[in-house]
Chain A
Amino acid sequence: DGGITQSPKYLFRKEGQNVTLSCEQNLNHDAMYWYRQDPGQGLRLIYYSQIVNDFQKGDIAEGYSVSREKKESFPLTVTSAQKNPTAFYLCASSPWGLNQPQHFGDGTRLSIL
């Protein structure tokens, strides 16, 4: 079954700790995205990548880092510099080209201990 897999589903972080959220897709999509959702708000773009070994900052990139070493993988690291990391994190992918809908994984909920 083709799809996007995010792991873990729930993650807890201690103060001052970096944590990495996994996102893997087997849809052969070129583009991948990371979003953050807070209660009562829409999704906000953190980082995106159009091709391997290249990525761009989104609207709220501060305190986050990413890598794109393989087409199918786009891990997100939430660093200790992110002062308010508690949120629901969503990874998406899409084919490259105009007017392509993004398809989402089921998310990772990150909480601070």
Chain B
Amino acid sequence: DQQVKQNSPSLSVQEGRISILNCDYTNSMFDYFLWYKKYPAEGPTFLISISSIKDKNEDGRFTVFLNKSAKHLSLHIVPSQPGDSAVYFCAASHGSSNTGKLIFGQGTTLQVKP
């Protein structure tokens, strides 16, 4: 039972354009969502998060949008840079469970072409 899904295994964009990575979830109890970036043979790096009381959070070139009714979140990267090429994971947690457990999607590989 995949509670967090990233349906696009890969995405390719041109440098300078917008990258949009998508994530869907099924558990309506999730109330905190995160995006991580991962290079090969390294651990994931935290990028940005959003709680369910907001529908948008921005940090520099990265913006996360949350649509609770659709159980959908997306990460926008503007402008995309070749160094953004990596695997991106979305993750979700259920804050009131008080465990801190994160449920991860399968990841989307982003390639930014110069």
Chain A residues near B (Cβ < 8 Å):
4, 6, 31, 33, 35, 40-45, 48, 50, 56, 58, 90, 92, 94, 96, 98-107, 109
Taking CB atoms, residues of chain B closer than 8 Å to A43 are 44, 89, 91, 102, 104
User: Are A107 and B43 in contact (CB-based, < 8 A)?
Assistant: yes
Inter-subunit contact B32/A105 (CB<8 Å) = no
The complex places the Cα of A107 from the Cα of B36 at a distance, in Å, of 15
Between A and B, how many residue pairs show CB distances below 8 Å? 66
Give B66-108 as 1s and 0s: 1 = Cβ < 8 Å from A's Cβ atoms. 0000000000000000000000010101010001111011110
Tell me which residues across on chain A come within 8 A of B102, comparing CB atoms.
Answer: 33, 43, 45, 102
- Which range holds the interface residue count of chain B? 20 to 34
Chain B interfacial positions (CB closer than 8 Å to A): 4, 6, 9, 32, 34, 36, 41-46, 49, 51, 89, 91, 93, 95, 99-102, 104-107
Task: List the 7 shortest-distance A-B pairs measured between CB atoms, nearest first.
Answer: A104-B43, A42-B104, A43-B104, A101-B46, A99-B32, A42-B106, A106-B43
Which residue, of B34, B104, B106, has the highest number of chain A Cβ atoms within 10 A? B104
